[in-house]
Amino acid sequence: MKVSCSKKTKFIFITGGVLSSLGKGLSAASIGTLLESRGLSVTFQKLDPYINVDPGTMNPFQHGEVYVTDDGAETDLDMGHYERFTNAVMGRNNNYTSGRIYYTVIMKERRGEYLGGTVQVIPHITDAIKEAILQLDGCADVAFIEIGGTVGDIEGLPFIEAIRQLRIDLGKDYSLFIHLTLVPYIRTSGEVKTKPTQHSVKELLASGIQPDILMCRTEVPLSDELKQKIALFCNVEAKNVISTMDVDSIYELPLSLRQEGVDDRILEKLGIWTGAPNITPWKNLVKTIKNPKGEVRVAITGKYVELTESYKSLHEALVHGGIANNIKVNLLYISADDLQNGEGMDQLEDCHGILVPGGFGSRGMEGKIQAAAYAREHRIPFFGICLGMQLAVVEFARNVAGITGAHSTEFDPDAADPVIYLMTEWFDSRTGKTETRDHTTELGGTMRLGAYPCVLKEGTLAAAAYGQGAISERHRHRYEFNNSYRERLQQAGLVISGASPDDNLVEIIELADHPWFLGCQFHPEFRSKPMNPHPLFRDFIRATMKLRS
Ligand code: GLN
């Protein structure tokens, strides 16, 4: 497939070498914000070389959190970096996996659209990849296309081949290759080593791609001499060898990359003329992060406590809540399993706030209920998100409203009092259709996903936080609050402070007689940005500050 572009969008392709987790997503997001600060619009796409059709069904232990976009796509956590650092809005077309690409091609073949021809990786799969990338053409001044994994991976080859072709199709003024590598520092000899970078570029060259800019992840800044050496071996101009230093806070990365002038290099290469960047907001942000007035400790009682990547957006939203209050938020991940087994309860005593995050499956579920009870009884600020809200409702029903058989049917399908259950029929305000679901509906297909409107009740914590009566937040769950118990729970002191516009879906609950106890059915963490902290996280952290002695 030979393509042409609208001559509006310039494409930056980012590949990684040597090893994974070098921060390609964060680097793209940071460069994105630098370009925005120069008046350009940006967008992003992540191409993941695994066979899963989307990350929705992937284990957060292996893959990190599933990030949900407004349009209800379940995506890679890099979408979160892109949205937090820039004004770009991500959705279904900003994240593709090999699985999804192959699926489209195979479906086309089944429909006979290839007219009996042999369907091959090149050109059919590579054409489908190019089509996916070129959907972004015309959407922004600059589009960052990040190829997941590491150069040389067998799975990644069709993506690398597709972007190689795109360079020829789009031309040099409309395409740029950035390669991110590692330049390790060997402590014993006090030396930095360039060989892995040389090998990685060789690998890329073997696929027909000559990088324009090399971003080298290092612990120590690269000297000019070293940059010259890398330049010589990798066929790149020395000024286009950029050090990407390790930083204390990810929000320092735009400043550090600005110092290296990576944005200047990119604009020069792509022939774009703009004014100087305005990085004052990032400077102020980093100043606030580095000079907190004090500290608070927040307990997170979850299932994936061993791997904080599973709670990436949550972690960041709590940091943002701290930024809004000029305070450092220390997170204490407590295993809900341990709480359930009667261990770790003493750790809760030392915390100024307790947060029960979203989750699936019954592991540690009673431990999370105990954490909610502890927060309620000890008047500790409590924030329950999605599953956290559902379990706070179960706890309140059992221990305050006297509904002893209360449970969620996710954990006990035969619960005597299913206060949280699968709503068999509900009006979906997004699609404008009545949805039906039950236990037999296929996994994945039955979730309430993406942004939904919510109306707030005056005089509540939620209304005070948002400062407006109507909001929209992102969802990812199957189970809902059961309206048959609404009256009884309200009489016992539960406040329903947010609901869908038709008042059928309970979206936020609070406790009247508590300093700050709030549960929401949605995931506010997906909407929080360092420059614009989410109001619920801001107010939760503010409430925890009152508990400090
Ligand atoms: N497991 C619960 C449900 O499906 C909550 C999901 C979540 O916390 N994201 O409704």
**Which band of pLDDT confidence, cut at 50, 70 and 90, is reported for residue 440?**
low
Output the pLDDT for position 361: 83
To the nearest 10 degrees (0 to 180), the angle between helices 126-134 and 98-110 is 110
Output the pLDDT for position 304: 60
CA Rg, the chain, in Å?
Answer: 25
pLDDT digits (tens, 9 = 90+) for 333-366: 888 888 888 887 888 888 999 999 998 888 889 9
Q: Which amino acid is at 107?
A: M
**Which band of pLDDT confidence, cut at 50, 70 and 90, is reported for residue 305?**
low
> What integer is the mean pLDDT of 21-48?
94
Q: Which ligand 1 atom minimizes the distance to the CA of 385?
A: 8
Output the pLDDT for position 442: 47
Is it true that 10-284 and 292-548 share their CATH fold?
yes
> What integer is the mean pLDDT of 403-429?
91
* Closest by Cα among 521, 519, 535, 518 to 478: 521
Q: CA 389, 395, 400, 404: dihedral to nearest 10 degrees?
A: 130
* Closest by Cα among 179, 251, 523, 546 to 383: 523
275 CA from centroid of ligand 1 (Å): 46
> What integer is the mean pLDDT of 415-425?
92
Average pLDDT, the chain: 92
Domain boundaries, the chain: 10-284, 292-548
Q: CA 390, 393, 395, 397: dihedral to nearest 10 degrees?
A: -140
pLDDT digits (tens, 9 = 90+) for 461-491: 999 999 999 999 999 999 999 999 999 999 9
pLDDT digits (tens, 9 = 90+) for 261-280: 999 999 999 999 999 999 99
151 CA from centroid of ligand 1 (Å): 36
358 CA from centroid of ligand 1 (Å): 6
Output the pLDDT for position 444: 43
Output the pLDDT for position 339: 82
Q: What percent of the chain has pLDDT over 70?
A: 97
Top CATH class of 10-284 equals alpha beta
Residue 234 annotated to the active site:
no
Tell me which of 203, 473, 510, 525 is the catalytic residue. Answer: 525
| Best residue for ligand 1 mutational test, from 360, 420, 438 (most atoms within 8 Å of Cβ) | 360
pLDDT for 21 beyond 80: no
| Best residue for ligand 1 mutational test, from 303, 311, 383, 410 (most atoms within 8 Å of Cβ) | 410
pLDDT for 17 beyond 90: no
Question: pLDDT higher for 194 or 389?
Answer: 389
Output the pLDDT for position 489: 97
| Best residue for ligand 1 mutational test, from 390, 448, 522 (most atoms within 8 Å of Cβ) | 390
**Which band of pLDDT confidence, cut at 50, 70 and 90, is reported for residue 54?**
confident
pLDDT digits (tens, 9 = 90+) for 218-228: 988 899 999 99
Distance between CA atoms of residues 476 and 16, nearest Å = 31
Give the CATH fold of the 292-548 domain.
Answer: Rossmann fold (3.40.50)
Output the pLDDT for position 48: 93
Tell me which of 386, 407, 477, 507 is the catalytic residue. Answer: 386
Ligand 1 neighbours by CB, cut-off 6 Å: 358-360, 386-387, 410, 476-479
Question: pLDDT higher for 22 or 307?
Answer: 22
Residue 523 annotated to the active site:
yes
103 CA from centroid of ligand 1 (Å): 27
Output the pLDDT for position 439: 63
